[in-house]
Structure formats: C-alpha cells, structure tokens
Chains A and B, each alone.
Chain A
Amino acid sequence: MPATKLDLNIKTMSYLKKVIYNCKQATFLIEKKSIGKITFRESFELRVHLLGCSFCRIYKKQSRIINQMVQELFRSSMHQDYKLDENFKNELQGRIEDELNKN
C-alpha cells in the first residue's frame, strides 16, 4: 500500500527529527548511561543523535571529565590535613569520659 508506506515514512522522519534535535533528551541519556543503564532503544537514539550533533559530542566528553575532576577534588581535599584545635578536642574527649562514667 503506497499510502501506508508514505505514512510510515513520514512517521519515521518525524520520529528521527525529534531524536536529532532533542539535545535535552540526549544529554539526559548521556548522564543516565554514565551511572546507570539505558534501554536498547535509548541507546540507539543517543547514537543517532551524537552522529549529527557536535554540541552533544562535546558535552559527552566534558561530562566525563567533570565527574573525574569532582572526584579528584574531593579526594585531594580529604587528604588535606584538617585539624581540630586542641581545646575543642580536649572538651570533646572530656564529654565522652563523662558519658562513660555515667554507665
């Protein structure tokens, strides 16, 4: 049926058009994929989108780098020497001793 075929083609075209233009959805899928699972269909849509969208290709690279950087920032700040002052510590240990003596 030519009419149905044409109809189908129009549907496919408009579906693909949506996929190709929708950077909001594509970046959403990039994030979801980086820490979770996306469906087969989502993965197909993302691939089609990335083929045609240089913005989202940059986004994808940057997103990964941002994750690494945030992790490194936290790690290096954990390794910094945070020190509580001695007064605070003495009082704190004092409170702990008080509690221990109650029992």
Chain B
Amino acid sequence: MQHQLNPHQWVAAHADYLYGFAITRINDDELARDLVQDTFLAALQKTAGFQGKSSERTWLTAILKNKIIDVYRKKSSGLQNITEKEVEDEQNDFFNADDGHWTKSSGPKEFGIEDSDKLVSKEFEQIMKRCLQKLPALWMSVFTMKHIDEEPTETICTELKVSQANFWVIIHRAKVNLRACLQRNWI
C-alpha cells in the first residue's frame, strides 16, 4: 500500500505524538515545541522525496530523530569538557587506580530488587529519573540511542562523532555512575 502525505492534517494527526517523542528524549518543553515545528517545516521541503513506503508518522518521526541528534551533538560538544572531566574524577573514586578493584565505599550492594519480578516501587522510579538527569549530555545521548532507540553502535558513533573505543567507555561510565547514584539514594 502506498502512503500519502496530507500536510493539512499534520498538526491534528501527529503534533502531540511528536511532542511526546521529543520531550521524553530531551526533557525541555520549549525546545521540544521548537523541534516539532522545525520537523513540520523541514518535512514540507522534503515532500518530493517521500516515496510512500513508510507511514506519514514514521517518516515525520525520522525527521524529528535527526533533529534530536543535532541537539545531542550540540549539547555534548558544549558541555562535554567540563562535566566529563568532573565525572571522570568521580570514576577514580569508584575503582582503585592501581589494581582496578572497587574502592572501599563503592562496592555494589544489593538493592533488594535483584531477584524478584515484582514491580519496582514508585519511589525507586523517581530516584532513577533524578539519577538519569544527572548524567552528562553526551552519555545520556549514547545511552538513550542505544537502550531506547536501539540504534546500531556504528550509527551512534557516526551521528555523535565518537570513536568505537570511546563509545564503550561512555556506556560503561554512564552505567557505573547511574548505578552508584541509585545506591547512594536508595540504600
């Protein structure tokens, strides 16, 4: 089936969806609105390239995704130097510099949720949200693209201009920091 574009209905049909997509990924209301608007305006320029293979919504979402990656890229190049340095110092608090063993205070302890399949409490979820927001922009972007959008590693590296080696370092640090933040605030 060939899909059609109908720009007269775009806002009514897709604006809320695109807004939700953007705000869950960038957590900034004003910026999310701007991105929705930019997406529609950019889409109007590209209508000739629409081949009808994907639905209108999928096509619009792909345009929005690229806009979000631009935001990630800008955020991470501006903030990267300061925040990454800070969290790197923090990393030395997690592992001994000489042998790489957990430092005394940072060894993982059970959260009490490891083995059960039952739902995690609202309180834990709130802590998780706050801890996620503390991650540096570049780490958050890599983490989101990998775990939420399930993009291939190569794509993420190309889009965000990080090397494969750095990609793994970023993923590792993000997780170690996130986990430590949960432990500090939960236990």
A93 close to B168 (CB less than 8 A): no
Bound Cα distance A73, B115 (Å): 19
Across the interface, B44 reaches (CB within 8 A) one of A36, A69, A96, namely A96
Across the interface, B168 reaches (CB within 8 A) one of A32, A73, A89, namely A32
B15 close to A92 (CB less than 8 A): yes
- CB contacts (< 8 Å) of B8 on chain A: these are 93, 96-97, 100
B7 touches A (CB below 8 Å): yes
Which DSSP category, helix, strand, loop or mixed, fits chain B's interface? helix
A63 touches B (CB below 8 Å): yes
Quick one: which of B102-160 are within 8 Å of A by CB?
102, 107-111, 113-115, 120, 125, 128-129, 132, 143-144, 146-148, 153
B15 close to A55 (CB less than 8 A): no
Scan A22-50; emit 1 where CB is below 8 A from any B CB, else 0.
11110110011001100000000000000
In the complex, the chain B residue whose C-beta lies closest to that of A31 is B172
Bound Cα distance A62, B107 (Å): 13
- CB contacts (< 8 Å) of B115 on chain A: these are 61
B178 close to A66 (CB less than 8 A): yes
B80 touches A (CB below 8 Å): no
B62 touches A (CB below 8 Å): no
Which DSSP category, helix, strand, loop or mixed, fits chain A's interface? helix
Bound Cα distance A78, B24 (Å): 7
B16 touches A (CB below 8 Å): yes
Binding site for A on B (CB under 8 A): 7-8, 10-12, 15-16, 19-21, 23-24, 33, 36-37, 40-41, 44, 94-95, 99-102, 107-111, 113-115, 120, 125, 128-129, 132, 143-144, 146-148, 153, 168-169, 171-172, 175-176, 178-179, 182
